[in-house]
A and B are shown apart, each in its own frame.
Chain A
Amino acid sequence: MKVYEIKNVSYRYPTGEWALRNINMEIEKGETVAIVGPNGAGKTTLLKLMDALVLPSEGEILFEGKPITEETMTDPEFRRKVGFLFQNPDVMLFSATVLEDVAFGPVHLWGKEKGLKRAREELRKLGIERLAERHPYNLSGGEKKKASIACVTSMEPEVLLLDEPTRDLDLRNRNFVLEMIRGWKAEKKTVVVVTHDLRLIRLADRVYVLKGEVLFEGTPRELFSRPELIESANLDVPEIVKLFHMLGLKETPLSVEEAGEILSGLCVKP
């Protein structure tokens, strides 16, 4: 089943600037899709469109086969199904305590009692119960990120829209986010992730390169075997890919382990 069908969508900001032109995309249920592109490519704008926070200037977006309209914006069912993790956790954390922030969505959906219970469960799941009564004002960057993740996952979404979830995090917290996305993938949740992080891209079933329009659509491996695309997306080429290109090898390994396997395969052959 298709979760999203984006048909000829263009979006112009009230300032008159066209952020997106003629976008076509389809996203299947249970898929993990990465969206990459340089700064100002319209990635965040696209996620806002997918979360029905703004409506397309032209074209239409179908969610589970039904067009997204003005009504979708305040439809509790849609809000529960789709979770949006903002790039900056500061815009999501405002209440007096982390617990109240995490409960904000659930309380709107299910009322106070169930909402608070859900929020507590989610904090436990993420291993940040100790932050429950803390004020978001004094959290560290990583703690804020986790708290904002809990804000989204406490609503038990089936579709996750993630805007640069690993940016500004240290290695340990990046790994944490990565593991979480792996978990969602295993649970067959639909994940759309905007990122520059190579390890996240590798996790995706498909990648879109965006720069006002869709420049490329394919698997991560296909993307990394095309240096000109990588450049247009302003991505770092993984060192190991560079090495393989330098050596004139046709394969494109996505990790050091994979490269090791390919190379040892080459060495074993006489």
Chain B
Amino acid sequence: MGFLEDTAREVLEFTTEAVFSERHTRKNGLLQRLDPRLKTVSLVVLVATVVSLQDIRIVVAFYFLALVLAVMSKLPVVEFTKRVWIFIPVFTGIIAIPSIFMVPGETAFKVLGLTATWEGIRWAVLFTLRVATAVSYAILFTMTSRWNEIVSALASFRVPGMVITITTLTYRYVFLLAKLLLDAMHSRRARLAGELGMVESWKEAGKHIGATFIKANALGEDIYYAMLSRGYTNEVQPIREFRLGKVDYAFSIVTALVVLLTLAFTRGLL
């Protein structure tokens, strides 16, 4: 139990701190310098390409491209990699592992009366790599973008003010919820004298989460009032003027080339 709880707390601490402190967004790296609108579009294009890939070698190439981008954006590669792979076991466990045994093909080995196939293994590896690569791009994006810029980018795509307000409120709400949850976990640790049994400690945790949600719900309303009180009017204040520079042009040309070449190659046109 202690292990599970500690891990949960660590992951929560680590992700909230990293996401909300926007620590890496202030570095002067490649992706940080990109126009947020362009970055959003490129991300969508890259992820869509990765998800459509069937060739493991090309997926690996895209994975390394993500690492190169991370380095060029001055992100700590170890932290970046950790953050990507922390999510992978869940996906792998749920989808990839069963498929090893379910995809028909040549037998690789037998275990507990189940037959694993080479085809299944290939598919599981491809799937896992694809997820990891797509997640890498998503995390590259979040680690290098400021919330304000994302909101401004949304506004420039003519997303209605109400949608942006709701998104902003959600962001703030999640922030608060994570904080309350961590506070609850910390205070619980402080108060916990002896070790509780598995069932009791989960019951305790359940109570805490319940109380946290109630508290967060009451505060949620105040979050909106606090914004309104300080002059918020459902309109986004452009925090920075968007202007495309040399980096933007260079990045879009390279991205477009990479994607087009990949598509041409996989479709057998090259």
Contact = CB atoms under 8 A, between A and B. Distances in A.
B252 interface: no
B225 A53 contact: yes
A109 B230 CA distance: 9
A80 B231 contact: yes
Report the interface size class on chain B.
Answer: 20 to 34
B230 A94 contact: no
Interface string A74-106: 101001101110101011101111001000110
Contacts of B238: 112
B22 A104 contact: no
A137 B20 contact: yes
A73 B230 CA distance: 10
Contacts of B240: 112
Interface residues of A, number: 34
Interface in B1-45: 16-17, 20-23, 25
A59 B170 CA distance: 34
Interface in B151-189: 171-172, 175-176, 179
A76 B228 CA distance: 10
B237 A107 contact: yes
B202 interface: no
A6 interface: no
Q: Which of A86, A90, A138 has the most CB of B within 10 A?
A: A90
Given A91-B223, A96-B21, A96-B25, A105 B172 contact: no
A135 B17 CA distance: 9
A86 B231 contact: no
A35 interface: no
A100 B233 CA distance: 18
B258 interface: no
B269 interface: no
B175 A104 contact: no
Contact of A76 (B16, B20, B25, B231): B231
Given A79-B230, A137-B20, A91 B222 contact: yes
Contacts of A79: 229-231
Contacts of B228: 53, 73-74
Contacts of A97: 22
Given A91-B226, A92-B226, A94-B175, A105 B219 contact: no
A96 B179 contact: no
Contact of B148 (A100, A135, A137): A100
B147 interface: yes
B227 to A, nearest CB: 8
Contacts of A51: 225, 229
A151 interface: yes
Contact of B172 (A74, A84, A94): A94
Interface string B212-253: 000000010011011111111100011110000000000000
B229 A53 contact: yes
A108 B229 CA distance: 11
B130 interface: no
B225 A48 contact: yes
A218 B233 CA distance: 38
A162 interface: no
A155 interface: yes
Nearest to B235: A108
Contacts of B147: 95-96
Contact of A84 (B21, B146, B171, B229): B229
A155 B226 CA distance: 13
A192 B91 CA distance: 55
Nearest to A109: B231
Nearest to B241: A112
A91 B176 contact: yes
Nearest to B239: A112
A126 B219 CA distance: 26
A34 to B, nearest CB: 21
Given A83-B229, A112-B237, A137-B17, 13 more contacts: A53-B229, A76-B231, A91-B226, A94-B223, A95-B147, A100-B148, A108-B230, A108-B233, A111-B237, A137-B175, A137-B179, A138-B17, A155-B231
10 contacts: A76-B231, A79-B231, A94-B223, A96-B21, A96-B22, A104-B227, A109-B231, A135-B23, A137-B21, A137-B179
**A-B complex: 7 closest residue pairs judged by Cβ atoms:** A108-B231, A105-B230, A96-B22, A135-B21, A91-B222, A79-B231, A84-B229
